[in-house]
Amino acid sequence: MDEKVRAYLSSIGARGGRKSRRKLDPDQAQAMVRVRQARRAYRQFHASCFWSYDPEYRVTLADVPWVAEQLMKHGGRDAWEKAAKLCP
């Protein structure tokens, strides 16, 4: 391998390992966490709260309030507590 190519690959590899290149503001980061939690809750409570919906449905940020509403309406105490965490 050419020495210039080796040096370039080494520099970008080291930079990637030091810190993330993702630049998110706090609102975007919180939205990502809410979507991740909503997706987990959808999968976890699918049998009791979302049984009539596609089990492979991909929850988006726009769906988070709907997921929280369904959890509160059709779930038990555990589902209610998860939904409360999803609400801002």
Q: What is the mean pLDDT of each run of 10 residues along the chain (88 residues)?
A: 83 65 81 94 94 94 95 94 89
Instruction: Transcribe 22-64 into DSSP letters.
Output: ----HHHHHHHHHHHHHHHHHHHTHHHHSTTS-TT----GGGH
Domain map (residue ranges) of the chain: 22-86
Which residue type, as a one-letter code, is found at position 52?
A: S
Distance (Å, whole) CA 43 – CA 58: 10
pLDDT of residue 72: 95
pLDDT of residue 14: 65
